[in-house]
């Protein structure tokens, strides 16, 4: 079976800075696509994601949560804890803009 993912396309999530840079680059496409639609909600969602990845305080929380959940495996994910962690991240972003 032929490989469909180019070598080196996906980042090593253990390399925090490479993973963060990859996410920031990956968010460029949704930003372009959101700019093509007449609705503001998709633009706001992209800004929220970009802020979460580009701001140290929110990135630290997101990366810690992501890495912990990735290591635990999908059957061990506690969605209530994930929702709680995301609330903390969003609250930190809201504080920055308040």
Question: pLDDT tens, 11-67?
Answer: 777 888 988 998 898 888 888 888 888 888 888 888 888 988 999 988 998 898 888
What range does the domain containing 20 cover?
A: 16-97
In a domain, 80, yes or no: yes
Q: pTM (2 decimals)?
A: 0.64
With respect to residue 65, please indicate whether it lies within any of the assigned structural domains: yes
Residue 71, domain member (yes or no) = yes
| Exposure string over 3-32, b if 16+ CB within 10 A, otherwise e | eeeeeeeebebeeeeebbebbeeebeeeee
Q: How many domains does the chain have?
A: 1
Residue 42 forms part of a structural domain = yes
- Whether 11 is in a domain gets the answer no
> Is residue 3 in some structural domain?
no
Domain for residue 5, yes or no? no
Alpha carbon distance 31, 4 (integer Å): 25
Predicted pLDDT of residue 56: 92
């Amino acid at each position: 079976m032929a490989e469909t993912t180019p070598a080196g396309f996906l980042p090593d999530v253990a390399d925090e800075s490479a993973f963060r840079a990859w996410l920031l680059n990956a968010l460029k496409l949704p930003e372009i696509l959101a700019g093509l639609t007449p609705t503001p909600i998709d633009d706001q969602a992209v800004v929220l994601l970009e802020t979460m990845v580009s701001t140290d305080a929110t990135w630290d929380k997101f990366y810690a949560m992501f890495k912990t959940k990735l290591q635990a495996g999908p059957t061990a994910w506690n969605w209530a804890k994930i929702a709680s962690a995301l609330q903390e991240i969003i609250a930190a972003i809201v504080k920055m803009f308040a």
